[in-house]
């Protein structure tokens, strides 16, 4: 996971990871330590979320933990923020950064990421908890709406019908017919001359 992915692959990994996180959250388990090293892949390349309840990799005040939510509280939305950081890294190859107004900077991927997905990424990484996803299910609903829209667009795409070749009929110039008629008359006269009818 230590490289950039195209957005379809990146969101696929995050969607599968969130399925595991959603299962934990429904059983009142908060992960608190989500990072790429805790997302493993099985033999079928399916992501698996691991390391539940183990000590954090970074000791406080020694090294910044990019995956900790800004509010520094243990919560479902804190886990969702951490997933958002992983998604951001998959899409950009870097850690998230914000402008002075607290808005996520995504100019480097703005043109290659559909607007709906940009909005999802922004909701994952909102500094204000009130603007962040409240649950995994909320993301699933947004992503399914996006996928449904893509399916509709694919069905509406017109199929280009192959056009029949255009046959241009060339008209024979009138002088050609005149020469043919003249040639016929000359041939007839020559025949009559050599047979003796014109002597």
Residue 166's pLDDT is 66
**Residue 165: DSSP 8-state:** P
pLDDT digits (tens, 9 = 90+) for 10-46: 999 999 999 999 999 999 999 999 999 999 999 999 9
**Residue 98: DSSP 8-state:** B
**Residue 36: DSSP 8-state:** G
| Mean pLDDT, range 164-172, rounded to an integer | 67
For the ranges 14-23, 86-95, 98-107, 152-161, the lowest mean pLDDT is seen at 152-161
Report if residue 100 sits inside a domain.
Answer: yes
Residue 56's pLDDT is 58
Task: In whole angstroms, give the CA distance from residue 88 to residue 7.
Answer: 10
Q: 95 near 35, Cβ under 8 Å?
A: no
Structural domain containing residue 32: 7-156
Report if residue 199 sits inside a domain.
Answer: no
Query: Which candidate, 24, 31, 141, 8, places its Cα nearest to that of 87?
Result: 8
The residue ranges of DSSP E strands in the chain, in sequence order, are 39-41, 47-49
Residue 168's pLDDT is 63
Write down the number of H helices and E strands in the chain: 5, 2
pLDDT digits (tens, 9 = 90+) for 112-160: 999 999 999 999 999 999 999 999 999 999 999 999 999 998 888 766 6
Provide the domain count of the chain.
1
Task: In whole angstroms, give the CA distance from residue 135 to residue 21.
Answer: 10
Residue 46's pLDDT is 92
- 198 has pLDDT over 70: no
Choose between 169 and 36: higher pLDDT: 36
Report if residue 23 sits inside a domain.
Answer: yes
pTM score: 0.74
Report if residue 194 sits inside a domain.
Answer: no
Residue 182's pLDDT is 73
Report if residue 188 sits inside a domain.
Answer: no
Residue 2's pLDDT is 72
Output the CA torsion sign for 117, 118, 121, 126: negative
**Domain with 138 in it: what CATH number?**
1.10.510.10
Residue 66's pLDDT is 80
End-to-end CA distance of the chain: 107
Backbone angles phi, psi at 30, to 5 degrees: -100, 135
Report if residue 198 sits inside a domain.
Answer: no
Report if residue 169 sits inside a domain.
Answer: no
């Amino acid at each position: 996971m230590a490289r950039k992915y195209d957005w379809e692959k990146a969101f696929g990994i995050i969607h599968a990871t969130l399925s595991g996180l959603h299962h934990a959250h429904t059983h009142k388990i908060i992960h608190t330590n989500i990072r790429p090293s805790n997302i493993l892949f099985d033999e079928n390349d399916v992501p698996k979320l691991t390391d539940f309840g183990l000590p954090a990799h970074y000791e406080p005040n020694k090294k910044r933990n990019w995956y900790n939510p800004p509010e520094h509280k243990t919560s479902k939305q804190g886990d969702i923020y951490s997933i958002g950081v992983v998604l951001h890294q998959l899409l950009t190859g870097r850690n998230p950064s914000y402008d002075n107004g607290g808005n996520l900077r995504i100019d480097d991927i703005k043109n290659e990421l559909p607007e709906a997905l940009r909005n999802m990424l922004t909701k994952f990484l909102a500094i204000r908890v009130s603007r962040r996803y409240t649950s995994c299910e909320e993301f699933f609903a947004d992503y399914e709406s996006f996928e449904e829209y893509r399916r509709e667009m694919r069905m509406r795409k017109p199929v280009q019908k192959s056009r029949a070749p255009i046959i241009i009929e060339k008209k024979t110039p009138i002088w050609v017919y005149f020469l043919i008629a003249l040639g016929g008359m000359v041939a007839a006269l020559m025949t009559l001359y050599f047979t003796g009818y014109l002597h």
